[in-house]
Amino acid sequence: MRTSYKIALPALLTAGLLMSPAALSASASAVSSGSAAAMALTLDGGSCEALARRFLCEVSFSGGVAPTSVRWFVNNNHIPSFDNKRFVAIGCQPTFSYAIRAVVSDAAGASVEFRTSAICRSGNP
């Protein structure tokens, strides 16, 4: 035979088996603000290595609101063929200086930027 027990609501709250509505809303807002902070667009790094007549460049980032986009600029000229690529090979003329920039943007309008300048090398890598 089954025995049924009646447990009072305050006893369940005290035992931690139930949460009050105020505690639920406080924990929900803490989770919301935590996930918003985790979603911030962050530049993790970038580099350009000078080889013979070219630069090998990469940019890395995290977070952001999808979709994210990457736009590359060489001497302030946008290079559309490099759009949305994290790794690019940029041809160059030996002994000339180049300003290279990658702009990463997300759907929320946030953006981060990697920029560097380097002199193109000649000869073998």
Residue pair 118/48 in contact (Cβ under 8 Å)? The answer is: yes
pLDDT at 5 over 50: no
Q: Which residue has the higher pLDDT, 45 or 10?
A: 45
The closest of 119, 125, 123 to 98, measured between CA atoms, is 119
Domain match, 91 and 74 both: yes
Q: How far apart are alpha carbons 72 and 84 in whole angstroms?
A: 9
pLDDT at 24: 45
Q: Based on the structure, what is the number of domains in the chain? A: 2
pLDDT at 26: 46
Q: What is the pTM of this model?
A: 0.68
pLDDT at 7: 53
Domain match, 33 and 70 both: no
What token pair was written down for 76?
Answer: 């302030």
Domain match, 30 and 84 both: no
Q: How far apart are alpha carbons 75 and 55 in whole angstroms?
A: 13
The string of pLDDT tens digits covering residues 27-44 is 444 444 445 554 899 999
pLDDT at 39: 82
The string of pLDDT tens digits covering residues 87-118 is 999 999 999 999 999 999 999 999 999 999 99
Domain match, 67 and 111 both: yes
> Which amino acid, residue 49?
E
Domain match, 28 and 53 both: no
